[in-house]
Structure 1
Amino acid sequence: MNFQSLSTNRLDLIRVTESHVNDFYTILSDSRVTQYYGIDPLTSLEEASQIIHSFDQTFSMKRGIRWGMIDRSTGRFIGTVGLNNWSPYAKKAELGFELHPDFWRRGYVSEAVQEVIRFSFKELALHRLGAVTFLENEASYRLLEKLRFTFEGVLRGYLYQSERSHDARMYGRLRTDVITPQVKIEETV
């Protein structure tokens, strides 16, 4: 499968490459971003480069897809969105995203996620999308709820960050879920 770029009204969703390493590092070295990301803030460009390389590896093994979010109006790399733990056989994946704080609460994540949902169910023929958030990450779990993900429970000790385990909220959305007509979704992340 070739990498497929996507687009929304305000964003181009593209393959993340080494050309994005500086912007990606800026995002993931910010403790406000990594607080609920499952990693400590990055301390070097090399760490950012390794993560970008891992995106390519997981895609080539059909275990994940990660898109860079490019703001069309400025051409700026503002974050990533993607599928983790992708299983084409089991027709499922987990959704993940992060965004530069300058762009929080402007609807970018919901716009990108809605396009990834569409692509996942229509183009990849997935049956299930899951998402996991830290218990305290209200902005992310409220966004998932607005995007009609169902809260499925708490996974005890599921996430590990800062040398300790954390409980997580589990959300899911099925292709067969009945979705009422789309309403305007306000950004919470």
Structure 2
Amino acid sequence: MAFPILETERLRLVEIEQSYCQKIYEIFSLDEVTCYYGMNSFTEFGQASRMIESFSKNYFEKKAIRWGIVLKETNILIGTIGLNNLQLWSKRSEIGYDLHPRYWGNGYASEAAGEIIHYGFQELGLFRIGAITYPENITSCKMLSKIGFHKEGLLRGYIHQGNKQHDALLYSIVRTDVEYNKKPLL
């Protein structure tokens, strides 16, 4: 099964292979990235390799699709984005994303997310795409609202990180939000 390569105006969304291991390590070894990711920062290079292996395994088992976000202008991997907890029989999934802080504030995450949402609804036949984020991650909350997600509620004690439980916000977008409102995702 060929991995779906997607493109936007400024980005290519590609399969994450071991050749991207250094960039994955650079991103996930930064506390600014992992503090809202539900995991501790990488401390050894092998963790990046194992993460890439898990991306491939989950794709092969049809549990998730994780793309590398590559900036067309420089051909550099700047982050990842994907559909997690992919349940084709229930027509739902959850979106997740991360970017190297050097690339924050340029609209890359919302551009990539718009393409992933379109792919999920049009190519995979999903009806619902959820998103879970920390309430403190104001930037992510704003981005989700900007691209058409609706806040559904608070999940108390949902994420375990740093030896304690954290609340999370649940957002979603459903296919009819896009079809009936004719609202552009970007």
Alignment of 1:44-55 (within 5 A): 44-55=44-55
Cα deviation for residue 97 of structure 1 reads 0.2
1:14 counterpart residue number: 14
* C-alpha distance in structure 2 between counterparts of 1:96 and 1:52, whole Å: 15
Letter in 2 for 1:111: E
Number of residue equivalences: 184
Cα deviation for residue 163 of structure 1 reads 1.3
Q: Percent identity over the alignment? A: 42
Q: Which runs of 4+ in 1 moved over 4 A?
A: none
What residue ranges of structure 1 are gaps of 5+ in the alignment?
Answer: none
TM-score normalised by length of structure 2: 0.96
Letter in 2 for 1:128: R
SS at match of 1:176: helix
1:179 counterpart residue number: 181
Cα deviation for residue 180 of structure 1 reads 4.0
Cα deviation for residue 62 of structure 1 reads 0.7
SS at match of 1:90: coil
Does the 8 Å CA contact 1:148/1:179 hold for their aligned counterparts? no
Higher helix share: 2
What residue ranges of structure 2 are gaps of 5+ in the alignment?
Answer: none
Does the 8 Å CA contact 1:28/1:41 hold for their aligned counterparts? yes
Alignment of 1:60-75 (within 5 A): 60-75=60-75
* C-alpha distance in structure 2 between counterparts of 1:135 and 1:105, whole Å: 19
1:113 counterpart residue number: 113
2:57 counterpart residue number: 57
TM-score normalised by length of structure 1: 0.94
Letter in 2 for 1:89: W
Give deviations 1:57-93, integer Å, cap 9, x for gaps.
Answer: 1111111000001100001010000011000110100
